[in-house]
A = this chain, B = another copy of it.
């Protein structure tokens, strides 16, 4: 893979983990109703991160486009998680923000 994507890959894998951890934890919360948007976006974000990790490592000709999509999904997931006080939401939001920024730096 192109080494200019190394930081992005690292953050993408971290973000994948935090999004899925948040997805799992949200489903166990008492007020699942309140977490519905979070659950939906955690899955969206984990899935695009997994897709991006594959694209980056196989040297896909579409890597930049995938990273741009990934950054956009990360931002939306962060917005949803930032509305909650749960530790898993805060961690997820921070990871999403950092991932979005690192993806955009890699593409720039």
Interface residues of A (CB under 8 A from B): 1, 9, 13, 16-17, 20-21, 23-24, 27-28, 30-33, 35-36, 39-41, 43-44, 46-48, 50-51, 53-54, 57-62, 65-66, 69, 72-73, 76
Q: Assembly of this chain: how many copies?
A: 4
> Helix, strand, loop or mixed for chain A's interface?
helix
A-B contact pairs, 17 of them (CB 8 A): A1-B21, A21-B58, A27-B40, A30-B33, A31-B33, A32-B33, A32-B36, A40-B61, A46-B57, A47-B54, A48-B62, A50-B54, A51-B51, A53-B53, A65-B69, A65-B72, A66-B69
Given contacts A36-B27, A66-B69, A69-B69, A51 and B46 within 8 Å (CB-CB):
no
